[in-house]
Amino acid sequence: VGADGQGGWGNARVEPYGPIAMDPAAAVLHYGQEIFEGLKAYRHADGSVWSFRPEANAARFNTSARRLALPELPEETFIESLRQLVAADQDWVPSGDGEALYLRPFMIATEAFLGVRPAREVSYRVIASPAGNYFGGELQPVSIWLSTAYARAGEGGTGEAKCGGNYAASLAAQMEAEAQGCKQVLFLDPFNDNAIEELGGMNIFFVFKDGRLVTPALNGHILHGITRSSVMQLAADRGLKVQERKITIDEWREGVASGEITEAFACGTAAVITPIGELKTAEGTIASPGSGAGEVTMAIREQLLGIQTGVVEDLHGWLTRLV
C-alpha cells in the first residue's frame, strides 16, 4: 500500500509486493528517518477479520512521527490502509490456532539530499506476513539475557518512538544474547539506578505471590506497549493490583529467592504473552519457579488471545473489524 505525503495522503493503492525504487541519497538510507508499527489481524470463526486496538497503534505512530520529524497520518487513513491491504487477499489471513496476519505499517523519508534536515517527501506503506508463535513451535518459556554493555534508550532520545534506529542500536545486544543461548535481551535504565526497562521487542511484568502485578513505570524512554496497557486492564479486571513502578534486578533475584515473585512474563504484539523461564546475567541466572509458565501468566494470555481471536467477549471494545 503506498500513499504519498506530498499533497496529502489521498492516492492510496494496493500494489503487488516487490522492491521499492529509491534514490541512493534518500534521507532514510543515511539518517534513519523512519518509523513503524506492528499489529495483527485475526480471523474469527465466522470468517471475519479483526485487528486489536489499531487506533492505539495509529496514535503511537503519530507520537513516533512527531519525534522523528515526519508528518502525522490521520487515524482513519492508518486503519483504512490495513483494511484495504487485508481485503486485497483475504486468503492470507491464517485461521490456525494462535496464527494471525502480522501487519507492518511504516513511513520512510524518501527525499534525496545530503544535508541533515527533516525530509519533505515521505512514503507510507504497509506490508504483511502470516505469523505463528513468535518464538517458533509450541509456547515455551523463553530465556533472556541481561545486557549491561548496552542501553536501548536514553533521556531525551527516541526510546518512546517506534523507529528503526532504536532497533539498530539494540542488535549488538541481541547478538550477545544469542551467543548466550537466549532469545531476547533485557535492557536496564542507566539513568535510573539500572532499573529494569524492557526487552528488545517486549515489555516485562512480574507476578507477586500476594496477587500484585508489577511492571516498570514508563520513564520517557520505554515503548508504550499496547499489549502492556491491555494486560494492565485485564489484570485489574481480575482483581489483581497493578503497580507501575521501579523494579531492579536485585528485587527480582531476591523476590524469586524468597518466593515473593512467582512469575515473570514478556508481552508484545508478536509474542502476545510469553512466560520468562530464566534471566541469564554475567553474575548468574535467575530461574523462574517451576517451568516458568505460571498460572497468572497463562490465564491472562488465554484471555487476551481469546479476545483477539473472538472466543472471549471483548468487554473493552478493543476489536476493530477489518473485513
> Which residues form the interface with ligand PMP (CB under 6 A)?
38, 198, 201-203, 223, 225-228, 268-269
Cβ closest to ligand PMP, residue 26 vs residue 188: 188
Q: How many residues does the chain have?
A: 323
Rounded least distance, CB 281 to ligand PMP, Å? 20
Contacts of 174 (CB under 8 A, 6+ apart): 184, 185, 200
Cα dihedral: 169, 41, 127, 173 (round 10): 10
Cβ closest to ligand PMP, residue 223 vs residue 286: 223
Cβ closest to ligand PMP, residue 268 vs residue 292: 268
Rounded least distance, CB 271 to ligand PMP, Å? 8
Rounded least distance, CB 47 to ligand PMP, Å? 26
Contacts of 268 (CB under 8 A, 6+ apart): 199, 201, 202, 203, 225, 227
* Region of 144 on the Ramachandran plot (φ > 0 left; ψ -120 to 50 alpha; else beta): beta
Cβ closest to ligand PMP, residue 26 vs residue 56: 56
Rounded least distance, CB 263 to ligand PMP, Å? 18
Rounded least distance, CB 310 to ligand PMP, Å? 19
Cβ closest to ligand PMP, residue 26 vs residue 152: 152
Cβ closest to ligand PMP, residue 197 vs residue 278: 197
Rounded least distance, CB 12 to ligand PMP, Å? 24
Q: What ranges make up the beta strands (E) of the chain?
A: 2-4, 34-36, 39-43, 49-52, 100-109, 122-131, 142-146, 184-189, 195-199, 203-208, 212-216, 241-245, 261-268, 272-281, 284-287, 319-321
